[in-house]
Structure 1
Amino acid sequence: MKYLHLFLAFLRIGLLGYGGGPSSIPLVEKEAVSKYKWLSKNEFGDMLALANTLPGPIITKMAGYIGYIVKGTIGLIIAIVASILPTILLMIVFFKFLTSFQDQPWVHGMTEAVIPVVGIMLATLTWEFFEKSKDGLGWGVSIALVIASFIVVSLLKIHPAFVIAAILIYVLVRPGKKQNEESKRSEAG
């Protein structure tokens, strides 16, 4: 039954993720965290951060990871195929159909009408991640990271993957980390 759930979940994401990765992320979160509970919100956030640092389409990376943790290698294959199948089929159909109507106003209206919906989905997901950050880091550090990230990504035009990778490296090698872990172990023992 989990194979079917994996297939249907990522098929829905593939069908409804109009606009690519950014619009698919909230859909993956809804399926994997809220509906099927394959991941916790924390695990989803960690997976998303790591997936953003790797090359390639984010939906296939997320599908592959979730499929693998749910049902191993077969689950990985099922989730990836289900996530890309709608795109492949719809691209063939829409390309044939829309090229004959590409100059029509309703075609432009259709593509432009989706943009605000995707924006709201991303804003909602952004707020959820910010609240998660605030709970772990506090308001001050969270706001400082938002401002610093905005400056680095938007104004300095540094790719977000480099920012995420730098933060991950810092967390792994930061001073005091080993001391905190050792003191926790000594308190527990």
Structure 2
Amino acid sequence: MNANQPGALYQEVCLIAGETVGWSFAHRARSGGPNPQVALLEIANNTTGVVFQSLATQSTVIGAPWQVNTGSTTYSGATGTQRVQFRTTNPGSFGNFVDDLRLNIAAFAQFSASSYSDFEASGGNLPVIIMDGRVEVPTTIPITITGGTADGADYTLTSSSITIPVGLYNGTAFPLPLVISDNFIG
């Protein structure tokens, strides 16, 4: 993380108000510049970059071995996409080394579209759940169909839930247990 000019190294993530955010990262001061050197782990607004929650401060002396910083806290911002960023307070230095960042946040499930519709005969535009994040224990998501013009003769919900297995997901699609009936009933 070069500190010759102000800046931040960040990743945008979806956070849920009140969720636990855990972290672990390694930091090492680079020779040259101020001693010690400091890396900050923060949550900032995803469009303005304005910091609204500090997570960790790691101060490391030049020549010291890698220092590991771990912790957790409750996310205090609004639900939505925010930046989780590293920043330094050492302008004019050669920089800081940051490695092995591990961010523990809730996995996120959402529909791939806000609404779905199709003709019974084709029935191919079925909802899917998109999963992002690390699921540490099998997680069951209940399924309920409400509203719309279809009735129980137009479809069959073969299960009232789907179970997401343990894993690390990056936009993985899980189809709903839904079958469309081509019954010619209006």
Q: How high is the TM-score relative to the length of structure 2?
A: 0.21
Higher Cα radius of gyration: 2
More strand by share: 2
Q: How high is the TM-score relative to the length of structure 1?
A: 0.21
